[in-house]
Structure 1
Amino acid sequence: MRTNWAGNVTFTAAEVVTPATAEDLRALVRGSSAVHVVGSGHSFSPIADTTGTLVSLAGLPEVFEVSGSTARVSAGMTLAALAVHLENAGLALHTLPSLPHITVAGAIATATHGSGSHSLSGAVRSMEVLRADGSTVELTSPGAVVSLGGLGVVTAVTLDVVPSFQVEQTVYEDVAWTTLLVQLEQIFAGAYSVSAFVDWQGGATLFAKHRVGDPRAAFPGRPASAPVHPVPGQPALHCTVQGGVPGPWHERLPHFRAEFTPSVGEELQTEYFVPRTRAVTALRALAEMSTVISPLVQTCEIRTVSDEDAWLSPAYDRDSLAIHFTWVPNTPAVLALLPRLEEAIAPRPHWGKLFTVPPALLAARYPQWDAFRALLTEHDPKGVFRNEFLTRYFGSSASS
């Protein structure tokens, strides 16, 4: 792997290694001066890059162990593979992101949120982390969960799980922009998971995922007469089943089927989190810039995320609205636009997406920023897992 999935990041690593055993991984880490782990490569920022050794965990033996209401799983396992294991055991995760193709550790380390109103990092009970000296520690602190890969190599994760459940998905079209704003809270409370896709040209399409057995709420708009892709004009072949047909949680909560690569071609992504108390204000501010957003955006998804205690989660300590942009693959134009959006809504950005918020501004938006900086120094004093991305935002290690 020399580039990320989208091709907008070329890794600068001297080598890319996929260890076959835990001992191979341990020896590699102990013998390296710079290491970083890459998951499925679905990040659009250089968060996974390193000038040293880029490590994939895909070759390690699989771990899946259930104990009561928790499951201990391989950090490098994809969420799609984990979902099959859980379903076979009669269990489920409380949420899944739009793409089940990403890895467990990658999703957690970047605070990727999912369907419903929670992020995957909120399900973490503990993590097994291989440090630069070859020792393994079990971390349970909320500060360690969203680690950006800076504390060491996460090799296994213990997650909260729930009994398996069924979901049915219905798409509602032709929802007026004013209706979305006026009924924002009711719409997002109307189903287990709700996504509003907007094109910034006056309307919205709602993807409502109802947990079977839960009360059903009325939604504005009209039910779609045929399957709908989140990107207008794209065929819905790769999307999960719609039309109100019940199915297992892992075959409905993501927008895309696990057996297909969900791409419309090259793209870029950005996601901004704002407090729910500022949701409508932020959306109005972005709507005022619709003439500059529309030419660059393929689609924009709006979802809600509940507050959580992971220090570097964009939803830390506050219920949030997440505004996700899928851009056309024009990096210079997108990067030129982002500062205008960020000034207008003052967000916390998704760590694995494109953003330009300066370090000082970002630090001011996270109450535990300095505490996480101290955690980096504690667990990686020599800066083995520090890369250019982490150094930009948290500084270099004391010993490097």
Structure 2
Amino acid sequence: MSIGSTWAGTHDFTASALIEATSISQVQDAVAHTRGQVRALGTRHSFNDIADSPGTLITVTGIDANPVLDEESATVTVGAGIRYGELATWLEARGWALHNMGSLPHISVGGAVATGTHGSGVTNGCLSAAVAALEYVDAQGELRSVSRGDEGWEGLVVGLGAYGIVVRLSLDIQPSYLVRQDVYRGLPWQALLDDLTGIMASAYSVSAFTTWAEDAVQQVWRKSRIGAGPEPMPDWLGARVERPDESGLVGVDPSNLTAKAGVRGAWLDRLPHFRLDSKPSNGEEIQTEYFVDLADGPDALRAVRELAADIAPHLFITELRTVASDNLWLSGAYERDTLAIHFTWRKRPAAVADLTPRIEAALAPFGARPHWGKVHSMTADAVAAAVPRLADARAQFEALDPEGRFANDHLRTLALRA
């Protein structure tokens, strides 16, 4: 059977079967009675083969999300297959919110958490940092639960699907809040390099966009919580407020984007860049992302800018974001406040394959870590050098799944499974 490809068509799945589960018990039965290897498949927003399997894929997106709100503990428990935008809508209707969202509200909660996906904000942890508990189906088909504070917790949240199939998660929530989104154009590169942390901390969530070859950073999106910090200014550090006729990103229909121009709105309608009812991003693209210590950010950016002339012809846009430090072993922000350097490439696989090793070489002195769900060229040795708890994560995965039911070639390439 043909299972199809990832969302952007960057990988064709090779698994021999796909089980579209409609209940947790069906996931348990599938794992217990399916021979060979199995893997969880979410909303297919990865760009590599991390979700593939030589055996069977099991998707949980068809299981009723059944959200359960616990106002006393300020958590919501939800099915792993629900999309962030759907959960956000459910929470907002009840007066609650998430601490952050990724640029795409279309991604599943389980898949985003498992790969360490993030939004932006110097004080905002990645999406995985909000997880308070999770339930997963283990290699024998048994339903297991684990909570924050349990032994090994830090190695299981960003788990890459390597030890089981996560079916439900509990997430920290907070009272709903309002956000305004203001876009600035033409921030001088030197201004960004001189005070990277200050600029990225100038609002609750900040993203900077560039194609590297410009004299000035193309756009800076500042998402400000209403009542928390100063109101944005019309002119800022040599940048100017975007005009209405300039709205949009390279190759993106402006109508697909969340409202800007300082218009106040609910958090779920401002923190993502793209609307849930729209086409996410460009579609015909390849994505790559690396994480470096925020303190090293200016030097890391200077190093990549040396390659600007070669990068720009193959790039839609680069987005710069920040992620607060956490203690999750496989998080890109493990034990360091982080600058995320993201590349949205034109769909030119050969050019990307040529450029990623060069970018990685430029970022190697800064201990760059890859985004697990995106395209990179890093070797197992390079990943191990940049990810301090990689060996501990592997040991835990192998202890929970000694037969390698959830292993695949991608995890072996990263030296996360034998």
Q: 1:120 to 1:233 in 2, by over 3 A?
A: closer
**Within the alignment, does 1:128 sit opposite 2:135 as a pair?**
yes
**Within the alignment, does 1:65 sit opposite 2:78 as a pair?**
no
**CA positional deviation for 1:276:** 1.2
What secondary structure sits across from 2:244 in the alignment?
coil
**CA positional deviation for 1:226:** 1.2
What secondary structure sits across from 1:46 in the alignment?
coil
Distance 2:413 2:192 in 1: 38
Q: 1:333 to 1:164 in 2, by over 3 A?
A: same
**Within the alignment, does 1:85 sit opposite 2:90 as a pair?**
yes
1:102-141 alpha-carbon deviations (Å, 9 max, x no partner): 0001000000011323210000111101012111111230
What is the root-mean-square deviation in Å for CA atoms of aligned residues? 1.4
Q: TM-score normalised to the size of structure 1?
A: 0.96
Alignment of 1:215-364 (within 5 A): 215-216=229-230, 218=233, 219-220=236-237, 221-226=239-244, 231-232=249-250, 234-346=252-364, 347-364=368-385
**Within the alignment, does 1:392 sit opposite 2:407 as a pair?**
no
What secondary structure sits across from 2:276 in the alignment?
coil
What does residue 203 of structure 2 align with?
191
Decide which moves more: 173-182 or 320-329.
173-182
**Which amino acid counterpart does residue 130 of structure 2 have in structure 1?**
A
1:19-65 alpha-carbon deviations (Å, 9 max, x no partner): 12222211111112211111111111111011111111121122201
Q: 1:387 to 1:300 in 2, by over 3 A?
A: same
What secondary structure sits across from 1:237 in the alignment?
helix
**CA positional deviation for 1:359:** 0.3
**Which amino acid counterpart does residue 31 of structure 2 have in structure 1?**
V
What does residue 110 of structure 2 align with?
105
Distance 2:134 2:282 in 1: 34
Aligned length: 397
Q: 1:370 to 1:230 in 2, by over 3 A?
A: farther
Decide which moves more: 77-86 or 131-140.
131-140
Gap runs ≥5 in structure 1? none
Q: 1:230 to 1:121 in 2, by over 3 A?
A: farther
**CA contact under 8 A between 2:286 and 2:375: conserved in structure 1?**
yes
**Within the alignment, does 1:95 sit opposite 2:100 as a pair?**
yes
Q: 1:383 to 1:230 in 2, by over 3 A?
A: farther
Distance 2:115 2:252 in 1: 28
**CA positional deviation for 1:394:** 2.6
Q: 1:134 to 1:100 in 2, by over 3 A?
A: same
What secondary structure sits across from 1:47 in the alignment?
coil
Distance 2:326 2:245 in 1: 33
Distance 1:227 1:51 in 2: 49
**Which amino acid counterpart does residue 84 of structure 1 have in structure 2?**
T
Residue identity over aligned pairs, in percent, reads: 40
What does residue 396 of structure 2 align with?
375
Distance 2:198 2:338 in 1: 15
**Which amino acid counterpart does residue 60 of structure 1 have in structure 2?**
I
**CA positional deviation for 1:395:** 5.4
What secondary structure sits across from 1:375 in the alignment?
helix
What secondary structure sits across from 2:384 in the alignment?
helix
Distance 2:250 2:30 in 1: 46
Q: 1:104 to 1:227 in 2, by over 3 A?
A: farther
Distance 2:183 2:328 in 1: 32
**CA positional deviation for 1:183:** 2.5
What does residue 178 of structure 2 align with?
166
What secondary structure sits across from 1:345 in the alignment?
helix
Distance 1:21 1:54 in 2: 15
Distance 1:394 1:264 in 2: 32
**CA positional deviation for 1:228:** 5.2
**Which amino acid counterpart does residue 59 of structure 2 have in structure 1?**
S
Gap runs ≥5 in structure 2? 148-152
Distance 2:7 2:247 in 1: 20
1:182-215 alpha-carbon deviations (Å, 9 max, x no partner): 1312211110001000111222110000100112
Distance 2:125 2:44 in 1: 23
**Which amino acid counterpart does residue 154 of structure 2 have in structure 1?**
P
Distance 1:49 1:55 in 2: 10
**CA contact under 8 A between 2:251 and 2:282: conserved in structure 1?**
no
Distance 2:320 2:222 in 1: 12
**CA contact under 8 A between 2:176 and 2:266: conserved in structure 1?**
yes
What does residue 216 of structure 2 align with?
203
**CA contact under 8 A between 1:228 and 1:236: conserved in structure 2?**
no
**CA positional deviation for 1:235:** 3.1
What does residue 166 of structure 2 align with?
154
**Which amino acid counterpart does residue 210 of structure 1 have in structure 2?**
S
**CA contact under 8 A between 2:40 and 2:60: conserved in structure 1?**
yes
Distance 1:207 1:257 in 2: 16
Distance 2:402 2:247 in 1: 47
What does residue 179 of structure 1 align with?
191
